[in-house]
Amino acid sequence: MRDDRSLGVYLHVPFCGQRCAYCDFAIVTGQDRRAPAFADALVAELGAFAARFGVRPADTVYFGGGTPSRVPPEVIERAVAAVREAFALWPGGEISLESNPEDVNAESVAAWRAAGVNRLTIGIQSLTGEGLAALGRPGSVEDSLRAVAAARTGGIPSLGIDLIFGWPGQDLPGWAGELDRAIGLGPDHVSIYALETTSRTPLVRAIERGELPRPDPDRAAEMYEAAVEALAAAGLPRYEISNFARPGHESRHNLRYWRDLPYAGFGPSAASYVDGTRWTNPRRFSDYEAAAWAGFPAVEAEPWDPDRRAGEALVFGLRTEAGVDLAPLAARYGEAALAGREAALERAVRSGLAQRDGSRVRLTGTGFLIADELFVDLL
């Protein structure tokens, strides 16, 4: 049941040891010394939110980044405590933390568990040395194996891993081997992402200069299909385009985005969608800190645009295996906003990219492969 008062809480932790070659996120490198001051700003922002909106219920907390595992565990502990003060966190609420393999050990896992973290994602990205080098990732495959073992030994209730496919030089047999090895680690959740080549990242610039081979989209599609099949056979069915989970281990926080449910974001570049209003925090770390101490740090709220909101809600819903029910969207954003997209939906159904059952629309297997093209049409 939709509850517009209950929120998911996102906290953006911007610290990283280096910028990976594929990364276009809001991060800072070489500034770990600022973590305590960042925690102060985060606590101030959470307090300002509660003062403005009241103590709202929340059922998920998600530490993303950046590299949340890089900051001292006491920063995570302090942030969770501040969330509990600013929100009425549901008993058994999901508290997720993204991590890099080199940060995961017995001591860090114990500290995160003590802070309340019950879901850990390890950004493995590749289980080959060649892949890590191509992606500009620090660490080694052995670091990833040790991290998974430490998380399991430390009693993390829900463990996920992230992988990137389609990097320069990767072939289908190599990807199949990585999938087998990943499945052998026994994760509860696996996220797979095709290498992003639209942003001006260092890796993309190297491809444009001809220093690295340009990824083949047809090969990437084959890799994706291979992953869907292998993960489903291992008991990790797809529930969203890039996400696969054992039953009960789906990311409840991310499902909020895909189901058009409200959320509150804290930290640099974090976005919020509360009471029908959407805004985004300053991206630059220094700008965020100054704004957090000045009061409420958000930039100007986006103007209400039901047509745009309807299109985005439709696209996000279609990313999921369950698809999207058009009737609630029409009630929320108006019949006209959906009617303008009816022709595109019908074309998708006729082309075998989507199927329709009453007011519910979901993508077919072929539709998931070329979803981005369909989404452009719907937006």
The structural domain count of the chain equals 2
Q: Which residue has the higher pLDDT, 84 or 207?
A: 84
Q: What is the per-residue pLDDT across 298-320, written as a single tens digit (0 to 9) for each?
A: 566 788 899 999 999 999 999 99
pLDDT score, position 374: 87
Domain boundary among 258, 281, 314: 258
100 and 173 in a single domain? The answer is yes
What range defines the domain where residue 79 resides?
Answer: 7-258
Residue 358 sits in a domain whose CATH number is 1.10.10.920
**pLDDT tens per residue, range 77-132:** 999 999 999 999 999 999 999 999 999 999 999 999 999 999 999 999 999 999 99
**pLDDT at residue 296 in the model:** 66
pLDDT given at position 343:
92
Instruction: Check residues 233 and 135 and name the one with the higher pLDDT.
Output: 233
CB contact set of 179 (below 8 Å; sequence gap of 6+): 163, 226, 227, 230, 231
More confidently predicted of 313 and 198: 313
Q: Are residues 197 and 71 in the same domain?
A: yes
Q: What is the DSSP string of 91-107?
A: EEEEEEEEE-GGG-SHH
Could you give the percent of the chain with pLDDT greater than 70? 96
Considering only residues 137 and 246, tell me which one the structure prediction assigns the higher pLDDT. 246
Residue at which a domain ends, from 258, 275, 291: 258
Whether residues 162 and 75 fall in one domain? yes
At residue 169 the predicted structure's pLDDT band, cuts being 50, 70 and 90, is confident
* Domain co-membership, 185 together with 334: no
Q: What are phi and psi of 150, to 5 degrees?
A: -65, -40
Task: Tell me the C-alpha distance between 148 and 21, whole Å.
Answer: 24
Q: Name the helix (H) or strand (E) containing 52.
A: helix 35-53
pLDDT score of 116: 97
The model carries a pTM of 0.93
């399991």: which residue's tokens?
152
Asked if 232 and 334 sit in the same domain, the reply is: no
Residue 153 and residue 214 in one domain: yes
Is the distance from CB of 179 to CB of 226 less than 8 angstroms? yes
Query: Is residue 224, in this structure, part of any structural domain at all?
Result: yes
Q: Give yes or no: residues 40 and 122 share one domain.
A: yes
Which pLDDT tens digit goes with each residue over 245-272?
999 999 999 999 999 999 999 999 999 9
Q: Per-residue pLDDT tens for 7-43? A: 999 999 999 988 887 777 888 888 999 999 999 999 9
